[in-house]
Amino acid sequence: MTKSYLVKEKDGKLVYTSVIILDNPSSISLIDHPIRIKILEILNKEPMYPAELAKLLNLHEQKVYYHIKQLVNANVLQIVEKKDIRGTTAKKFSPKNMSFAVSLAKDWKKLNSLIEKKDDNISKFLEGFVENNTLNASFVVGSPDPHGPHKARARDGHYAIDLALFFGNHAEIPKDFSAKLDVDIDMKTSGNLIIVGGPVTNLLCAKLNDFMPAKFSDKKPWGIITKKDTYTDDAIGLIARIPNPYNPEYKILVIAGIRFVGTKAAVMALTRHTKQVLSRFSGQKEFYAVVHGFDMDADGKIDSIELLE
């Protein structure tokens, strides 16, 4: 049996409930009656026989039978139990649903297209990474094994889970596996990339460093260098969107920090404070944002974000 759902926006979020789509528009008029609505509300709490309903509503049993028949004709009631009483069969009823709709539409659209249209700026930012409501990119995290010139082990790969949840609100899962390690990627032959982690732990970030509008320093003390300032706090993170310099047909999104806590700050900023981070984005080919993560409740974990530039 095909399930249907009713979706609406509430407090800026999409909420839903299951719904019966009625084939005949006139069925709505069969439901639209104060006694029938009361019957549905009662039966939704507890299935009953018509005789029980009549007693509860203080109505003649034949009148209750009449209203139940109208609800059955509207296809909104179902029989959940039968029993024989003095040669007759008594039927216990329950609503099939408590939401009903009539639709004459033929052009049903994917729900992701509705979500994507909620914020055109986000859609524009994700252009390329999301195509036809499907993820069109690979998440690249640093290898957990010692690798690269610093023989570093990546400790921030798990932050890609939150990024995946964020992208999941705007795209369906692709057929191919979307998570890869930095040591397995050739940027000359790869498609769109979402790179998680700084140049010490993610080799692709190191290869891209000279091409980014904001750069990581290549020696200690590690930091992020922009035209405006140099940032060295561990909780500083960078979000950068650039064309792939090795294959300009594709795009790259870098979410990285000076240290792993900075990467967490960048992930939190993009996924929880998206509109603030993208306030300066207007479709430019190269875009970056620098953020600072703070531990406001002193529990040792980043829980607040400040946009620096």
- DSSP for the chain, written as a single string: ----EEEEEETTEEEEEE-EEESSTTHHHHH-SHHHHHHHHHHHHS-B-HHHHHHHHT--HHHHHHHHHHHHHTT-EEEEEEEEETTEEEEEEEES-S-EEE--------HHHHHHTT-HHHHHHTBTTEETTEE-SEEEE--SS-BTTTTBPP--GGGHHHHHHHHHTT-BPPSS--EEEGGG--TTT--SEEEES-TTT-HHHHHHGGGSSSEE-SSSSP-EE-SS-EE--TTEEEEEEEE-TT-TTSEEEEEEESSHHHHHHHHHHHHHSHHHHGGG-SS-SSEEEEEEEE-TTSSSS--EEEE--
Give the model's pLDDT for residue 156: 79
Mean pLDDT of the chain: 88
* 152 and 287 co-located in one domain: yes
Q: Are residues 96 and 123 in the same domain?
A: no
Residues 10 and 58 in one domain: yes
Domain boundary at 102, 136, 170, which? 102
- Which amino acid, one-letter code, is at 104? L
| Pair of tokens at residue 49 | 């026989």
- pLDDT tens profile 213-223: 999 988 777 89
- 34 plus 178 within the same structural domain: no
What band does 12 get if pLDDT is binned at 50, 70 and 90? Answer: low
Q: Do 138 and 249 lie in a common domain?
A: yes
Q: What's the CA gap between 220 and 150, in Å, rounded? A: 12
CATH of the domain at 50: 1.10.10.10
pLDDT at residue number 299: 79
**Of 35, 67, 102, at which residue does a domain stop?**
102
Residue 113, pLDDT above cutoff 70? no
Segment 112-134 shows an average pLDDT of 76
**Tokens, residue 282:** 């207007």
Residue 216 pLDDT: 93
What phi and psi, each to the nearest 5 degrees, are found at residue 158? -70, -15
Instruction: Note whether 125 and 81 are same-domain residues.
Output: no
121 against 227, higher pLDDT:
227
Range of the domain at 81: 5-102
* Residue 172, pLDDT score: 81
Q: Do 170 and 254 fall into the same domain?
A: yes
One domain for residues 89 and 199? no
Overall residue count recorded for the chain in this entry: 309
Residue 225 has pLDDT above 70, yes or no: yes
Give the CATH number of the domain where residue 185 resides. Answer: 3.30.379.10
User: For 148-186, what is each residue's pLDDT tens digit?
Assistant: 777 878 887 788 888 888 888 888 888 888 889 989 999
- State the Cα–Cα distance between residues 237 and 130, nearest whole angstrom: 23
pLDDT at 107: 80
Indicate the pLDDT class of residue 118, thresholds 50, 70 and 90: low
What would you report as the CA-atom Rg of the chain, rounded to the nearest whole angstrom?
29
pLDDT value at 114 more than 70? no
The answer to whether the CB of 272 falls within 8 A of the CB of 302 is no
| Count of domains observed in the chain | 2
Looking up tokens 């891209």, which residue turns up?
208
16 pLDDT band, cuts 50/70/90, is: confident
Q: Looking at 102, 135, 150, which one is the last position of a domain? A: 102
Average pLDDT value for residue range 35-58: 94
pLDDT, one tens digit per residue, over 138-150 is: 999 988 888 877 7
- Same domain flag for 258 and 181: yes
One domain, residues 62 and 186: no
Verify that 76 and 139 share a domain, yes or no.
no
Tokens matching residue 178: 């979307």
- Both 69 and 208 in one domain: the answer is no
CA-based diameter of the chain, in Å?
92
